[in-house]
A and B are shown apart, each in its own frame.
Chain A
Amino acid sequence: MSDRKIYADATAALDGILTNGMTLMSGGFGLCGIPETLIEAVKVAGVKGLTVISNNAGVDGIGLGVLLESKQISTMVSSYVGENKMFAEQYLNGDLEVVFTPQGTLSEQIRAGGAGIPAFYTKTGVGTLVAEGKEVKNFDGEDYVMERGLTADVALVHAYMADKEGNLVFRKTARNFNPMMATAGRITVAEVEHLVEPGEIDPDHIVVPGVYVQRIVHVPNPVKHIEQRTTRTRNQVA
C-alpha cells in the first residue's frame, strides 16, 4: 500500500487546496471530535472570507474560535453557537453572517449532499422562521419543508483511527458530524489519532470507507477538551 494519502503534518495536508471565500466543513460536536490540528493549520494558511459549516463554533481560543479570532470566517452555518464570546461580538456588529439550521436538518443536508441528493423534505421547522422562503409540500396530509443538500470544497474531519487507504473508525460520541462531512467534501482531509496498515482494521468495523478520504494526517495523542466536566461521587447512587 502506498502512502499517497498520507501527509507529514496538517499544513502539508492542506497545501494547495485552501482559497479565499471557499466553503469548509468542520466536524465535531462542541469540542468533541473536532479536527483541531487542521483548524490551526487553516489559521496559519490565512485564507479569509470562509463559509464554515459546523454544528458549533468552538469556544474562545479553541477549535473554530481560533478562526473567528483571526476574522477568517464570514459565514457560519450552525445549529448552536452559545459558548463563544468572540462569536457573539462579531455576530452582533454584523461582521459575521450566521445561518441557523436545526441540527437534524443540518446533518441530513450534509448526508444528502455527500450522497448526491440536491434536496429533501422534512417536517422540522414547518411554520417557523426556518421555513420562510422555502417550498412547503403536503405529503399524506402533513406539511414538509424542502431543504437543500450541502457540500463543501474541503471537509475537515477527526477520526480515532485510519488505515493508509483512508478507512476511518471513530470513538464514542466523537463520531457525531464527522462521517457525513467526510462524504460531503470535494476534498476530505482527516486528522487521525492512530494510523495503521490496511488490514489492521476489521473491515466490518469501518464506518467511513476510504473512497471519501483524500488526505490523512497522523496526530497522535491530541489534547482533548471538555466543555462541561460533570461527575458523581463514589457514594452516590447512580
Chain B
Amino acid sequence: MAWTREQMAQRAAQELQDGFYVNLGIGIPTLVSNYIPEGMEIQLQSENGMLGMGPFPYEGEEDADLINAGKQTVTELPTTSYFSNADSFAMIRGGHINLSILGAMQVAQNGDLANWMIPGKMVKGMGGAMDLVAGVKKVIIVMEHTAKGEPKLLKTCNLPLTGKGVVDMVITDMAVFKFEKDGETNMKLIQLADGVTLDDVKEATEAEFDVAL
C-alpha cells in the first residue's frame, strides 16, 4: 500500500516537460533526476550558481570547487554554465525557472507552505526556499502524507511560513493534489496512490479538498 519514495519521485517526474529548467530540493526531490524520460531535455539548476548540473562524479574525480546547493559533489555537462549567486537568484526570482520541486513540513489548503523552521527547535535557516517558492513558475511539493501519524496537509499551517499561496501541486505517498490558486476551492484530489482509498486519504488529511479523480 502507498507509494515508496522512488514512486513519489517517479510521479513528480511526470510533471516535467521538454525544455524545462528545473530546480530540485534536497531529499526525495533529488531522486526525480533519476526518472527524467529518455529524450527529454531538462536542465537542472543548482541555486549556488550552476545551470546544467550533471550526475555525481566517479570516485576519485570529485572536485571541491564543483558542488550543488546541498554541498554534494556533482559534475558538469556540455550545457553547463556557472554564475554568481546573485545571478542565480535573478534567474529564480525573475521567473526564468519553470519548475521547483521541494519537500515540506506542512501545506495548507490555500497553498501556504511551511518548510523551514519549528519554533523552539534549532533553526538552520531557509536557504533558498523562500526565493524559490516566490519566484519559480510552478512549485511541486513532494512529502510524506503524515508525520508521526499527524496530518501535514492542514486547514492552516501552524508553523512559520516559507511562502503564502505558493504551492501548485502536492505529491505524497498516498495521493496527488492540485491547487487552483484563483478558484473557489483551493485544493483538489486528482490521484490516489496504488492501494490507497479515498477514505484512507480523508482519514489522514485535515485540509478540506474537492475530489476530482
Contacts and interface: CB of A to CB of B under 8 A. Distances in A.
Interface of A: 29-33, 55, 78-83, 88, 91-92, 98, 100, 102-105, 107-108, 110-111, 122-130, 160, 170-180, 207, 224-234, 238
Nearest to A231: B59
Contacts of A88: 122
Contacts, number: 180
Nearest to A59: B71
B125 A80 contact: yes
Interface stretch (B137-145, B161-169, B179-187, B199-207): B161-169
A238 B65 CA distance: 21
A22 to B, nearest CB: 23
Contacts of A123: 93, 134-135
Chain A CB within 10 Å, residue with most, of B57, B61, B130: B130
A228 B64 CA distance: 10
Nearest to B84: A179
Contacts of A160: 65
B127 interface: yes
7 contacts: A103-B128, A128-B130, A172-B76, A180-B85, A228-B67, A231-B59, A232-B55
Interface string B54-87: 1111110111111111111110100000111110
Q: Which of B49, B61, B85 has the most CB of A within 10 A?
A: B85
Interface residues of B, number: 53
B134 to A, nearest CB: 4
A111 B64 CA distance: 25
Nearest to B128: A103
A164 to B, nearest CB: 23
Most B-side CB within 10 Å, residue of A78, A80, A111, A130: A80
B172 interface: no
Nearest to A30: B71
Given A31-B71, A107-B86, A231-B73, A102 B122 contact: no
Contact of B71 (A91, A105, A107, A228): A228
Contacts of B58: 231-234
A88 B70 CA distance: 19
A80 B116 CA distance: 10
A55 B85 contact: yes
B88 to A, nearest CB: 8
Interface string B175-193: 0000000000000000000
Given A32-B48, A80-B127, A107-B85, A224 B64 contact: yes
A230 B59 CA distance: 8
A124 B67 contact: no
B148 interface: no
B46 interface: yes
A51 B53 CA distance: 34
Contacts of B127: 79-80, 102-103
A92 B55 CA distance: 37
A228 B85 contact: no
Contacts of B61: 231
Interface in B112-144: 122-131, 134-135
Contact of B130 (A31, A81, A102): A102
B92 interface: yes
Contacts of A172: 50, 63, 65-66, 76, 82
A180 B67 contact: no
B89 interface: yes
B173 interface: no
